Structures are given as structure tokens and as C-alpha cells.
């Protein structure tokens, strides 16, 4: 027996969605894809990946909330789409639907969107719905044996305890850029030899500002993200660092990593998408252009890779890569999220709901920027950390946290 045959990770077990080394995957080709949230920022970039690889990805169904015109345009562009679904039932009366190709079925109502993963013949479900509204669809995708390509981080934040027991390696593929990066750093490694995840953050538009300086922040200022072009809620969450807090919880679930071993770090240029440190002190980083089509595409091409959708970075011209600790005093949302994640149970679900309400209230001009963290903190104070038991329970927690958050918003706004 040679040295090579006594490989150290022979008996390694999977860790979260990280496969044990040597695991082989077969993927269906072409991939029959259901795209939820097809009209949003991630959805549109996914459609772009589909356009680039018509021989590899076949869009079979798309869903959105109320953007009926754009959904009809997609059905006309991709004749492989046989089903479209809209959560907003009033879309059923839209004249735009006359443009749907013959034989393409339209479904209406939130339940029809939620059950799409289970009721349409498909291989992969890419969930790019925004917010807790994506929870049931994630569950349906995994329960019906589909591969879940997950952008909707809120599903894991709120319902990681329900989703992860259903998510074996290769069945849940992260789309969030940091988590895709971490997933790739783990490839070929004994997953249990990882000692720390370095979760990178751009720091957002207000990096370096002190808490008091954030008082006068306007909606326009907060929507101006330095490196990524995203939906409104995640853009505000990136500026408050709540997004990083949600991502720490997401990483905890996906990679079965204790909170003490997940360290958020600001990396201003957003070219290091995250890093994993191993027991011998080695650190693997994933670098590349800040373009969401790269992780979206990997979730569809896994275990292979397809041609780059983005211009490669010229590393010699980039010049420098800067790191810093996040400032938890100026950005209390990150501190709150880390605490809620550690306590666990239903608290992350309540926190996410309160944050969704607070962010919308800020976007509507009802509360100030720094009120966002105040709303979330006050709502969380009212919840006990009960264990997660069911999706129905999470829906009740979500609804009750929203009502309480609206109450705090009204107090702050008066
Ligand atoms: P957007 O707000 O741009 O898009 C949201 C999409 O979801 C739209 O298609 C919208 O439809 C649809 N939608 C929202 N609510 C419902 C509902 N109740 N029923 C059916 N459809 C609904 O969001 P993003 O694309 O920015 O984000 C999507 C998810 O991806 C989020 O969880 C976010 O955290 C995550 N993510 C996003 C990144 C980004 O770069 N944008 C990066 C990493 C993760 P309609 O057009 O009809 O309103
Ligand atoms: Mg991210």
C-alpha cells in the first residue's frame, strides 16, 4: 500500500451541503429549470444565463408576484416555458395575458407559486423570490426531490431547521455569492478540517462612518451600493449590514458551522467572495468579478463549469485588496442578527420579518435610517426563542412579528 492510498479523508462525512471528497454527482442535461422570482434582479440575471446556454438549460416555468407583462414576455421568448404563475390573484384579469403563447398555462395565487416546484416536471428550482415569501417554495422543492438552487436566503434564515434535514449535498446549491464561494473553497477538502469561514462584506456605501453620522442618511444614499446592483430590500440590508447578519445565519445552516467559527470581514473591492480556513492554518479564498451570474451559473452547471458570463478581473490593474473589521456600533443590525442566530429557534424568523417591515417603512419615508435597527431590536425583545416545529408555526411568527414591527414603526413615525 502506498502513501496515497491512505488518504486522510476516506471516512469523512458530508457537512451540511458540502459533499465528502470523492462523491460523484450526475446532473440532468439539459436542466429543466423552474425559475421563481423571474422578474427580479436575480431572476433577470438567471434568464441571461439561460439565454447564453440554450442547449444546457431549458426554462419550463417562471413565477413572479405581479409583473404579468414581463412574465408574458418571457413565455414568448422561451417556447419551452409551459407554465407561468403569479402570486397576485388580480393578475388573472390582466389583458397582457392575451399575449401568452398557445398551450402555456397561467396559474394565479400565492399557493400556486409555492407548489410550482412540486407540480411541474423539472430538475432544478431556482428560488429567487424575495423575503419570507420564498419559504414554502424552498420546502416544496426539497420535499419533491428537486435540486434547489437557493438565492432566497430568508428561507434558510427563518426555516433552516426545517430545510436542512431535507438537503443532502448536491440537492441544495447556494446562489448567494459568498455561499457559492465557500462551497467552492470546500471542494476537494475534508469538510471537517475547516476551522473558520471568513464571510466577506463590501461594507456598503456607509463604510467608515460613525453611528451619529448615519442620522441623516436618505433613501437615495442607502440605495447607492458601491459594487452590486440588487433588489431594493437587499440593497438597504447591505448598507445596514443586516444582509451580512442574514448571511452568517445562512452559512451556519448550509455548512453546519458553529457561529463562533464564522467571521464577517469587510473586503471593500468585493473581489474576494469569501474564504475558508483549515486546521493547518491554510486559507482558501474564492475570487472573481462581482457579477451574480457567476454563482447563478455554477448552481446550474454543478458539478461542471461553463464559459464565463462576466469580464474577468485584471488582477494586476486592481492594485489592492483591503480588509477591515465591521463596525458593530455603527451597524447594530449585524450585532442583532449574530445574537438572534446564536439563540436560534424562531428568533431569526421574527428578526427577518421585522427587518422586512422596517426596510419598507424606511423606503416609504416613514422612519429614519437608524430606526431600522431600533424596530428590529424592539420586536425581537417580545419573542421567546421557541424551537422551530413547522412551516405553519413560522408563518404565524412571521405575521406576528410584522404586526409588532408595524406598531413600532407607527410609534417612531409619530
Ligand atoms: P427583487 O426584489 O429584485 O425581485 C424579487 C422577485 O420575487 C420578483 O420577481 C418579484 O416579482 C418576486 N416576488 C416577490 N414577492 C413575491 C411573492 N409573494 N410571490 C411571488 N413572487 C414574488 O429581489 P432580488 O432579485 O434582489 O433578490 C431575490 C432573492 O435573492 C432575495 O432573497 C435576496 O436576498 C437574494 N439575493 C439577491 C442578490 C442580488 O444580487 N440581487 C444577491 C444574493 C442573494 P414582481 O416582479 O412581480 O414583484
Ligand atoms: Mg451575498
**What values do phi and psi take at 146, rounded to 5?**
-80, 160
How far, in whole angstroms, is CA 176 from its chain's centroid? 5
The three three-digit cell numbers of residue 93, written as one number:
384579469
Q: Which residue has the higher pLDDT, 2 or 112?
A: 112
Give the model's pLDDT for residue 336: 98
**What is the greatest pairwise CA distance in the chain?**
77
What confidence tier does 226 reach under pLDDT thresholds 50, 70, 90?
confident
Q: Is the CB of 129 under 6 A from ligand 1?
A: yes
Give the model's pLDDT for residue 8: 52
Averaged pLDDT, 158-167: 98
Averaged pLDDT, 233-240: 96
Alpha carbons within 13 A on the beta-carbon side of 231: 21
3-class secondary structure per residue, the chain: CCCCCCCCCCCCCCECCECCCCCCCCCCCCEEEEEECCCCHHHHHHHHHHHHCCCCEEEEEEEECCCHHHHHHHHHHCCCCCEEEECCHHHHHCHHHHHCCCCCEEEECHHHHHHHHHHCCCCEEEECCCHHHHHHHHHHHHHCCCEEEECCHHHHHHHHHHHHHHCCCCCEEECCHHHHHHHHHHCCCCHHHEEEEEEEECCCCCCCCCHHHHCCCCHHHHCCCCCCCCCHHHHHHHHHCHHHHHHHHHHHHHHCCCHHHEEEEEECCCCEEEEEEECCCCEEEEECCCCCHHHHHHHHHCCCCCCCCCCCCCHHHHCCCCEECCCCCCCHHHHHHHHHHHHCCCHHHHHHHHHHHHHHHHHCCCCCCCHHHHHHHHHHHCCCCCCCCCHHHHHHHHHHHHHHHHHHHHHHHC
How far is the centre of ligand 2, averaged over its atoms, from the C-alpha of 41 (Å)? Answer: 13
Nearest atom of ligand 1 to the alpha carbon of 42: 25
Q: What is the pLDDT of residues 80-113, one digit of tens each?
A: 999 999 999 999 999 999 999 999 999 999 999 9
Strand partners, 61: 34, 83
Please tell me the number of the ligand nearest to residue 356's CA: 1
| Average pLDDT across the chain, whole number | 95
Give the model's pLDDT for residue 15: 96
Give the model's pLDDT for residue 368: 97
Nearest atom of ligand 1 to the alpha carbon of 243: 34
How far is the centre of ligand 1, averaged over its atoms, from the C-alpha of 46 (Å)? Answer: 12
Nearest atom of ligand 1 to the alpha carbon of 232: 2
Residue nearest to atom 16 of ligand 1 (CA): 65
Q: Please tell me the distance from the alpha carbon of residue 99 to that of residue 58, in angstroms, as a whole number.
A: 21
* Degrees, nearest 5: CA angle 277-280-284: 35
The three three-digit cell numbers of residue 405, written as one number:
414591527
Give the model's pLDDT for residue 130: 96
Give the model's pLDDT for residue 1: 42
How far is the centre of ligand 2, averaged over its atoms, from the C-alpha of 176 (Å)? Answer: 5
Averaged pLDDT, 410-414: 95
Please tell me the number of the ligand nearest to residue 114's CA: 1
Exposure pattern of 280-307 as b/e (b: 16+ CB <10 Å)? eeeebbbbbbbbbbbbbbbbbbbeeeee
Averaged pLDDT, 163-176: 97
How far is the centre of ligand 2, averaged over its atoms, from the C-alpha of 167 (Å)? Answer: 20
Domains of the chain: 31-174 (3.40.50.720)
pTM, rounded to two decimals = 0.96
Give the model's pLDDT for residue 46: 98
Exposure pattern of 136-148 as b/e (b: 16+ CB <10 Å)? bbbbbbbeeebbb
Give the model's pLDDT for residue 225: 76
Judged against a pLDDT cut of 60, whether residue 395 lies above it is answered with yes
Averaged pLDDT, 385-414: 97
Asked whether the beta carbons of 266 and 207 are under 8 A apart, the reply is yes
Judged against a pLDDT cut of 90, whether residue 27 lies above it is answered with no
**What values do phi and psi take at 143, rounded to 5?**
-65, -30
- Strands 83-86, 57-64: parallel, antiparallel or unpaired by DSSP? parallel
The three three-digit cell numbers of residue 12, written as one number:
469523512
Q: What is the pLDDT of residues 29-68, one digit of tens each?
A: 899 999 999 999 999 999 999 999 999 999 999 999 999 9
What confidence tier does 5 reach under pLDDT thresholds 50, 70, 90?
very low
Judged against a pLDDT cut of 50, whether residue 6 lies above it is answered with no
Give the model's pLDDT for residue 29: 82
Which residues 6+ apart lie within 8 Å of 393 measured at CB?
346, 386
Which residues 6+ apart lie within 8 Å of 243 measured at CB?
201, 234, 237
Nearest atom of ligand 1 to the alpha carbon of 229: 40
Amino acid at each position: 500500500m502506498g502513501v496515497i492510498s491512505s488518504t486522510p479523508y476516506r471516512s469523512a462525512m458530508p457537512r451540511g451541503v458540502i459533499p465528502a471528497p470523492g462523491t460523484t454527482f450526475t446532473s440532468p442535461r439539459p436542466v429543466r429549470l423552474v425559475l421563481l422570482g423571474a422578474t427580479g434582479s436575480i431572476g433577470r440575471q438567471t434568464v441571461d444565463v439561460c439565454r447564453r446556454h440554450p442547449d444546457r438549460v431549458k426554462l419550463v416555468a417562471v413565477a413572479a408576484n405581479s409583473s404579468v407583462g414581463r412574465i408574458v414576455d418571457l413565455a414568448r421568448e422561451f417556447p419551452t416555458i409551459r407554465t407561468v404563475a403569479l402570486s397576485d390573484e388580480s393578475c388573472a384579469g390582466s389583458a397582457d395575458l392575451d399575449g401568452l403563447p398557445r398551450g402555456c398555462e397561467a396559474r394565479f395565487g400565492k399557493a400556486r407559486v409555492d407548489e410550482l416546484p412540486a407540480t411541474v416536471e423539472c430538475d432544478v428550482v431556482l428560488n429567487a423570490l424575495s423575503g419570507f415569501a420564498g419559504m414554502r417554495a424552498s420546502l416544496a422543492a426539497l420535499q419533491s426531490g428537486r435540486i434547489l438552487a437557493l438565492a432566497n436566503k430568508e428561507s434558510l434564515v427563518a426555516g433552516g431547521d426545517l430545510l436542512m434535514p431535507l438537503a443532502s449535498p448536491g440537492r441544495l446549491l447556494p446562489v448567494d455569492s459568498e455561499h457559492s464561494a465557500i462551497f467552492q473553497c470546500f471542494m476537494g477538502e475534508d469538510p471537517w478540517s475547516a476551522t473558520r469561514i471568513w464571510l466577506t462584506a463590501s461594507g456598503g456605501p456607509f463604510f467608515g462612518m460613525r453611528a451619529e453620522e448615519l442620522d441623516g442618511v436618505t433613501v437615495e444614499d442607502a440605495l447607492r451600493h458601491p459594487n452590486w446592483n440588487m433588489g431594493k430590500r437587499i440593497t438597504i440590508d447591505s448598507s445596514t449590514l443586516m444582509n451580512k447578519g442574514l448571511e452568517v445565519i445562512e452559512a451556519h445552516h448550509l455548512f453546519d458551522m458553529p457561529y463562533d467559527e464564522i467571521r464577517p470581514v469587510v473586503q471593500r473591492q468585493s473581489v474576494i467572495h469569501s474564504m475558508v480556513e483549515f486546521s493547518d492554518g491554510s486559507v482558501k479564498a474564492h475570487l472573481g468579478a462581482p457579477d451574480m451570474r457567476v454563482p447563478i451559473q455554477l448552481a446550474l452547471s454543478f458539478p461542471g463549469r461553463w464559459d464565463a458570463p462576466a469580464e474577468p478581473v485584471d488582477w494586476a490593474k486592481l492594485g489592492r485588496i483591503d480588509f477591515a473589521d465591521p463596525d458593530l456600533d455603527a451597524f447594530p443590525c449585524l450585532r442583532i442578527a449574530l445574537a438572534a442566530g446564536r439563540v436560534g429557534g424562531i428568533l431569526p424568523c421574527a428578526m427577518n420579518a421585522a427587518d422586512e417591515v422596517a426596510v419598507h417603512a424606511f423606503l416609504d419615508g416613514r422612519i429614519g435610517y437608524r430606526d431600522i435597527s431600533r424596530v428590529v431590536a424592539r420586536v425581537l425583545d417580545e419573542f421567546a426563542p421557541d424551537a422551530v416545529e413547522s412551516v405553519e408555526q413560522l408563518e404565524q411568527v412571521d405575521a406576528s412579528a410584522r404586526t409588532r414591527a408595524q406598531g413600532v414603526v407607527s410609534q417612531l413615525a409619530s
